[in-house]
Chain A
Amino acid sequence: MKKVKVVHYINQFFAGIGGEEKANITPELREGIVGPGMALKAALGENAEIVATIICGDSYFNENLEKATNEIIDMVKSLEVDMFIAGPAFNAGRYGTACGSICKSVQETLNIPVLTGMYIENPGADLYKKDIYILSTTNNAAGMRKAVPAMAKFALKLMNNEEIGSPEDEGYLERGIRVNYFNEKNGAERAIDMLIKKLKGEPFKTEYPMPVFDNVTPGEAIIDLSNAKIALVTSGGIVPKGNPDRIESSSASKYGKYSIEGINDLTEDAYETAHGGYDPCYANQDADRVLPVDVLRDLESEGMIGSLHNYFYSTVGNGTSVKNSKAYSRSIAKELHSDGVDAVILTST
């Protein structure tokens, strides 16, 4: 078996160069192992070799983020390694954010597995745990003896492309990714077990901790509608007949932008809905029922509104994840903004 080549990233302190007074040192590439690399090498065993260590001052990294990142990535690239390991950073804040940030960048630009380790309350954990694997460690370097073998074991798994288990099983920090699995009991039994525990005041574990919901504050009211440019945006799936962009009936992976220049009415021949969550019959008969172009054209000619924006935007809300919805709305809002739209009527179903 070919030995896997690893590069190890550490800060000035763990390299033995110095503390805070040396936190400004620029990235330096050294052959072989330095500091905690010794323990890491031992733990990685026969199948992996730490070919080099990159050392960087925590202040330098955080204060020169782009420059430092580019310098380090160039170093990693020149080494042609198979894996990038940083830290562990324990509860050192700037070291933690540096480890997280550089791991994320290496993963994105070089597409090799990356791993770091830190304490759950390290600010770097919250910033990067969604993007990369971060092994959970204690809050200080006294935990090195435990952290390093755990990191090595997990790193070998990543290198060998093995299936990664749950955070509980593997010891990494939760990344917020929902993964299906088959439980031993059916949902009804689990629900009743949970209720009995809750009734007895015993500890129980919810299967889905409630997300924190962001509430959108409505924009300021428009005083003078007669000069306002109004746009229509819908999650009701109204599309030109034939659904040219093939927007999915559920869990939409995109939105569409369609011109309504010169169109006063959405007719049965020209428009339909792509939405799979409601009976499409009435929307297909008359798409204005979901996207009221006809009424807005009337208001436009009556002078009640300044104008109707020449494009409408449409996606399917049915089963579409909040994350995707947010991304679509950001991009739609940006375009509406640059097109000088004053207000939007959002229609759902």
Chain B
Amino acid sequence: MRLEIGEIIIDDVQFGNSTKVENGTLFVNADEIKSIVLEDEHISSVDIDLAKPGESIRITPVKDVIEPRVKVSGNGGIFPGIINKVDTVGTGRTNVLKGCAVVTCGKIVGFQEGIIDMTGPGAKYTPFSKLNNIVLVIKPKEGLKQYDYEHATRMAGLKIATYLGEATKEVTPDTVIPYETKSLFEQADLYPDLPKVAYVYMLQTQGLMHDTYVYGVDAKKIVPTLLYPTEIMDGAILSGNCVSACDKNTTYHHLNNPIIKNLYEKDGKEINFMGVIITNENVYLADKERSSNFTAKLSRYLGLDGVIISQEGFGNPDTDLIMNCKKIEDEGIKTVIVTDEYAGRDGSSQSLADADPKADAVVTGGNANQLIHLPPMEKIIGMLDYVDKIAGSFDGSLSEDGSIVAELQVITGATNELGFNKLSAKTY
């Protein structure tokens, strides 16, 4: 499977009469966005706002972040099984509006949404402070159940990202990057002397709105399976999560998975990148056992020498992470795990809820319990009324002047476990 990613660099976003890209500026028609969002009868209103890097803006409560993409050629459309038909994606050409994102906001659960600061100390911790964001603050019809609210907000974000992508289908990309993974035997033959490496991609599926979707399927109902890496770049995996903001994978993270990107960079040079094994993080022990048995079995089946395993979330999924690591190591396959830490505010506690000596190669996205002081911003997009209750905050987190003292946990993407950020932790 071969996919070309055509990057259209966006360095500014503005409201305009029609949605288009001109000289690196994305113009968006707010009325059209509004009418698309309000097609959903569950939504009573939507406020559309822009937030650019360096502006004194705080966005909260953030649910998801989505990068606009469009399929220019090849099979199917973006977000198969949800927005487009459930065709197999991952081939041909996909255009990407690089440097911008759709951010959806709404107090769906209240304490499971996050904060994005566009400037100041908080901005350093979230990759989304570097993007030109089109923010949708979505209000539900009265009495709407939170599950329906989550669904409506998720769909609104995906629809608008798709709409923005579509409108720029004809634009010539600034760069085109090809990615290719061949069929199993061809791929193995391509670099017979290099170690065969795959990626075990754990998806948050604890349920009750801790959900991830694969081609439209709720991933807690899958058994671990194989994907071509390029399928993921076309939106085969997307987030339906309302969970602690710092280490949930937004749809933007899935589309731009840095482990996949970096494995491709080393492919044919130091490793032979064989593909992606997706698995879940269900809460029942039998599911955990079955899924980790499957990842180990598939790793052996593919004849792998090494795998990278990434986690999503913390606590309960730590057990899935360690089970995957242990069982794959037991197959004689080398592992590196990517996680984050909950070492307490003073950093002196042990960081994970499960551990095993076989997990001897760990990459950490940092200690999510570390406190951060976020100074007031001139403008709030969304609302502050839940700040004292977001996971990672506490009574008194929000001061009268609008400043916030809370754990890094409140910041969207701060301790991402796909290795998206440069943040790490060491022992002092």
Contact (Cβ within 8 A) B308 A191: yes
> Which of B98-106, B160-168, B258-266 interfaces with chain A?
B258-266
Q: Any chain A CB within 8 A of the CB of B345?
A: yes
Contact (Cβ within 8 A) A194 B393: no
Distance between Cα atoms of A88 and B407 in the complex (Å): 38
Contact (Cβ within 8 A) B420 A188: yes
Q: Any chain A CB within 8 A of the CB of B90?
A: no
Contact A319 to B348, CB < 8 A, known contacts A199-B334, A250-B392: no
Contact A188 to B418, CB < 8 A, known contacts A194-B363, A319-B392: yes
> Which of B129-137, B219-227, B352-360, B375-383 interfaces with chain A?
B352-360
Contact (Cβ within 8 A) B266 A196: yes
User: Which B383-419 residues have C-beta < 8 A from chain A?
Assistant: 389-395, 407-409, 416-419
Q: Any chain B CB within 8 A of the CB of A276?
A: yes
Interface 1/0s, chain A 180-192, versus B by CB < 8 A?
Answer: 1111111111111
Distance between Cα atoms of A322 and B357 in the complex (Å): 18
B38 to chain A, nearest CB (A): 26
> Which of B62-70, B75-83, B181-189, B366-374 interfaces with chain A?
B366-374
How extensive is the interface on chain B, given as a class? 35 or more
Distance between Cα atoms of A189 and B420 in the complex (Å): 9
Q: For B368, what are the chain A residues with a Cβ–Cβ distance below 8 Å?
A: 319
> Which of A100-108, A109-117, A138-146, A277-285 interfaces with chain B?
A277-285
Q: Any chain B CB within 8 A of the CB of A206?
A: yes
B115 to chain A, nearest CB (A): 14
Contact A177 to B348, CB < 8 A, known contacts A182-B424, A276-B391, A322-B353: yes
Contact (Cβ within 8 A) A207 B394: no
Q: Any chain B CB within 8 A of the CB of A253?
A: yes
Distance between Cα atoms of A113 and B339 in the complex (Å): 35
Q: Any chain A CB within 8 A of the CB of B347?
A: yes
Contact (Cβ within 8 A) B423 A180: yes
Distance between Cα atoms of A130 and B112 in the complex (Å): 34
B113 to chain A, nearest CB (A): 10
Q: Any chain A CB within 8 A of the CB of B206?
A: yes
Contact (Cβ within 8 A) B111 A208: no
Contact (Cβ within 8 A) B348 A187: no
Contact A278 to B206, CB < 8 A, known contacts A187-B419, A191-B363: yes
Q: Any chain A CB within 8 A of the CB of B236?
A: no
Q: For A164, what are the chain B residues with a Cβ–Cβ distance below 8 Å?
A: 428
Count chain A CB atoms within 10 A of each CB in B258, B270, B418, B424 and give the residue with the most: B424
Distance between Cα atoms of A58 and B364 in the complex (Å): 43
Count chain B CB atoms within 10 A of each CB in A167, A199, A251, A280 and give the residue with the most: A251
Contact (Cβ within 8 A) B258 A186: yes
Q: Any chain B CB within 8 A of the CB of A246?
A: yes
Distance between Cα atoms of A209 and B124 in the complex (Å): 26
Q: Is the interface of B mostly helix, strand, loop or mixed?
A: loop
Contact (Cβ within 8 A) A198 B306: yes
- Which of the residues A183, A196, A277, A321 comes within 8 Å of B343, measured between beta carbons? A321
Distance between Cα atoms of A199 and B308 in the complex (Å): 12
Contact A208 to B341, CB < 8 A, known contacts A192-B308, A195-B336: yes
Q: Any chain B CB within 8 A of the CB of A234?
A: no
Contact (Cβ within 8 A) A324 B208: no
- Which of the residues A188, A209, A248, A324 comes within 8 Å of B259, measured between beta carbons? A188
Contact (Cβ within 8 A) A195 B353: no
Contact (Cβ within 8 A) B361 A194: yes
Q: Any chain B CB within 8 A of the CB of A221?
A: no
Distance between Cα atoms of A276 and B111 in the complex (Å): 6
Distance between Cα atoms of A60 and B10 in the complex (Å): 73
Q: Any chain B CB within 8 A of the CB of A179?
A: yes
Q: For A323, what are the chain B residues with a Cβ–Cβ distance below 8 Å?
A: 344, 348-350
Distance between Cα atoms of A249 and B390 in the complex (Å): 7
Contact (Cβ within 8 A) B423 A174: no
Q: Any chain B CB within 8 A of the CB of A259?
A: no
Q: Is the interface of A mostly helix, strand, loop or mixed?
A: loop
Q: For B112, what are the chain A residues with a Cβ–Cβ distance below 8 Å?
A: 276
Q: Any chain B CB within 8 A of the CB of A318?
A: yes
Contact (Cβ within 8 A) A208 B364: yes
Contact (Cβ within 8 A) A281 B392: no
Contact (Cβ within 8 A) A183 B427: no
Q: For A251, what are the chain B residues with a Cβ–Cβ distance below 8 Å?
A: 342, 344-345, 369, 391-392, 394, 407, 409
Distance between Cα atoms of A282 and B362 in the complex (Å): 36
Q: Any chain B CB within 8 A of the CB of A204?
A: yes
- Which of the residues A186, A211, A279 comes within 8 Å of B422, measured between beta carbons? A186
Q: For A319, what are the chain B residues with a Cβ–Cβ distance below 8 Å?
A: 244, 314-315, 342, 368-369, 391-392, 407, 409
Contact A187 to B427, CB < 8 A, known contacts A195-B306, A199-B305: no
Q: For B361, what are the chain A residues with a Cβ–Cβ distance below 8 Å?
A: 194-195, 198, 204, 206
Distance between Cα atoms of A253 and B109 in the complex (Å): 22
Contact (Cβ within 8 A) B427 A322: no
Contact (Cβ within 8 A) A278 B365: no
B306 to chain A, nearest CB (A): 5
Q: For A57, what are the chain B residues with a Cβ–Cβ distance below 8 Å?
A: none
Contact (Cβ within 8 A) A188 B338: yes
Contact (Cβ within 8 A) A249 B389: yes
Provide 30 A-B residue pairs closer than 8 Å at the C-beta atoms, listed in order of the A residue: A175-B348, A177-B348, A178-B341, A180-B423, A182-B422, A183-B424, A187-B418, A187-B424, A188-B261, A188-B262, A188-B338, A189-B419, A192-B308, A195-B307, A199-B271, A207-B364, A208-B341, A210-B356, A210-B359, A213-B350, A213-B355, A250-B244, A276-B390, A277-B315, A279-B109, A279-B209, A321-B342, A321-B350, A323-B344, A323-B350
**B interface with A by C-beta (< 8 Å):** 109, 111-112, 124, 146, 195, 197, 206, 208-210, 242-244, 258-259, 261-263, 266, 270-271, 305-308, 314-315, 334-336, 338-339, 341-357, 359-370, 389-395, 407-409, 416-428
Beyond the given A195-B334, A199-B306, please list 15 additional residue pairs across the A-B interface where CB-CB is below 8 A: A177-B348, A179-B427, A181-B425, A187-B258, A187-B420, A196-B271, A206-B360, A210-B355, A211-B352, A212-B355, A246-B395, A249-B390, A251-B392, A319-B369, A321-B345
Those 3 A-B pairs whose CB atoms lie nearest each other, nearest first: A187-B419, A188-B419, A279-B208
